[in-house]
Structure 1
């Protein structure tokens, strides 16, 4: 559901419903394309590759990490995104981004990138050196939103993130019996996320400056790059300031919590 226009624009009722039922909402022009261009110049330098010489693009993916300067972090702190965070997570329910997380820069390649499996982004237990032991629980401890920031134009052939629409509901029901302790990524992935295989697959495409705000339980996956232009994307979490299943203003759950509660109410 693309949006454009005034920087103070808000998500509509249909957008909120889409987030609750499908697990994501797309916001166009969430940050300026000029900022994306400036960020790409820095990222190109850090890849060690030459943007004008594809012969230097020797790996299918180069991971760059945790940029904290304004050209990056400012992209996550625009008025339109802050307003969307308030609408999805609740005013006072989130912490402003101070790092853009990992940038998986994907290059056109016939080589398997080796990281294209279905998964969710788990959110606590990071002290364990085995990432398959990292955890998520039904209250989404440690994560309020999964976010996809497009720092380059991304078309269907440019390794767009694959999203299983509505899969956050399957994960909520899978996590619920495990309570506060939750499940490890290894346990969640034991069946290859077969519980969401019936869901419609959506591609996170769009021009630079597009942001997808996703439920933290949304099942998603990378894919090989079949196009011609490298793809630049950031995937920082939005961190919670309070548990997502706690009531906010007016004693009501924000949509991120409502989506979990409504999923658990379904049989």
Structure 2
């Protein structure tokens, strides 16, 4: 898939998002902003980039950050333009920060969180997260986003992506209607329908962002590199629920294309 540092996605790249379920944007925010974000996260977890003896756990999580570097990284002109192109003008809420942050360290230990999954988007007040839900209209989530805050190579625990898997999930959600399906229901078959999808790795330099369809099946993996990997995986939130009077966005077109829907 071609990459671009300029503002705006080409029509070809928008079509690839519809078909593949994601698009990679290089230089979406600056390397200096990425460094500022890393510095804050190092402070938050009480560890240091220069003292690897303290890196004793395979993953440490930080919930969310809303200080200026994180707000700026999530709201660059390049990203705002891409949000408009994929979700629709005035159909998304500008991020007020970033999170969550799974900070992964080189380790021989299994991280314990590297199973395939999709991110659900509503019903999250239920204390049982397996009862959190998603529906075919993707209520409560406009995009899944992966912000690379450090350079991420093939050995640095890049997120694994099942290309095109969003179409399978859309078809599986369709029979559940507006009530949607719980994570327990969605994951009951182990995401078998997407098992044959090609796998891509979310690699790139610090400042790269992957904008993903909300239904994309993805997974973490162990870190076999040398330097910790810093990444944020926030949602882009919709401004309102699905409005059939508006032209369908690429996110919605991908769902319609998968399900043969007329909305």
TM score, norm. by length of structure 2: 0.96
Equivalent position of 1:262 in the other structure: 257
State the alpha-carbon separation in 2 of the partners of residues 151 and 244 from structure 1: 32
State the alpha-carbon separation in 1 of the partners of residues 85 and 63 from structure 2: 28
1:57-136, aligned counterparts within 5 Å?
A: 57-136=55-134
For each residue in 1:77-124, what CA deviation from the matched residue of structure 2 results, as whole angstroms up to 9, or x when unmatched?
000100000000000110000131210000000101100000001000
Equivalent position of 1:3 in the other structure: 3
Counterparts in 2 of 1:169 and 1:112: CA distance versus 1, 3 Å:
same
1:1-267, aligned counterparts within 5 Å?
A: 1-6=1-6, 9-244=7-242, 246-248=244-246, 252-265=247-260
For each residue in 1:13-64, what CA deviation from the matched residue of structure 2 results, as whole angstroms up to 9, or x when unmatched?
1101110010000000000110000111111111222211211001000001
| SS of residue paired to 1:101 | strand
Runs of 4+ deviating beyond 4 Å: none
CA contact (8 A) 2:5 2:25 kept: no
- Which blocks of at least 5 consecutive residues in structure 1 are unaligned? none
- Which blocks of at least 5 consecutive residues in structure 2 are unaligned? none
Counterparts in 2 of 1:188 and 1:194: CA distance versus 1, 3 Å:
same
1:3, distance to aligned residue in structure 2 (A) = 3.5
Mean CA deviation greater in 75-84 or 236-245: 236-245
| SS of residue paired to 2:237 | strand
CA contact (8 A) 2:168 2:194 kept: yes
